Amino acid sequence: MTSSEIDLSAGYADLLEILKTRVANVRVQAQRTVNALLIELYWSLGNDILDRQDRQGWGSGVLRQLANDLGASFPDMKGLSYRNLQYMTAMVRDWGAETNVPQVVAHLPWGHIRTILAKAATTEERDWYAAAAVQYGWSRNVLLNKMMNHSMERTGAAPANFTGRLAAQDSEHAVPLIP
């Protein structure tokens, strides 16, 4: 029996939309949870590696060996490469070796964090782009574009009458868009 042969009641379409929205929302929530756990894992790995490097003077050879051994132990898991271990330690070093991941970093996907670590020259720049990416929901390509165009330096530099012409919540979104 196909759906065209079934007599669907008038409420079917509404129910279908409600269920689709619920499934989509839970999928997004699950992705965010997995991302947050992954960032916490990467933070803890970076923190432990930095601690041992400081205490025992480990160099890049040990980091390469760790990447090989972790990759062999978890062959189905991406993200345990030598380069990613370097990013994990850079993340902890650059954002401060606290016991917890900084709030803004915890809300960023790993690709965003890597982009910021690779492209930001200063602490101020790193923090500004991380906060802006979270606030405005930038994709990694948009983030990279904003960084390459030096948006931080240009934000608020151009005169604008947005605050006088738009509602408060709209003007807040328009001002950062000024090139």
The overall average pLDDT reported for the chain is: 85
**Neighbouring residues of 114: CB distance < 8 A, sequence distance ≥ 6:** 84, 87
Nearest Cα to Cα of residue 46 among 86, 83, 8: 86
Q: Quick check: helix, strand or coil at residue 88?
A: helix
Give CA torsion, residues 99, 94, 61, 68, to 10 deg.
Answer: 60
Residue ranges covered by each domain of the chain: 12-101, 102-179
2-13 per-position pLDDT tens digit: 556 677 787 898
Q: Which of 3-7, 67-71, 141-145, 161-165 has the lowest mean pLDDT?
A: 161-165
**Model pLDDT, residue 11:** 87
**Model pLDDT, residue 57:** 85
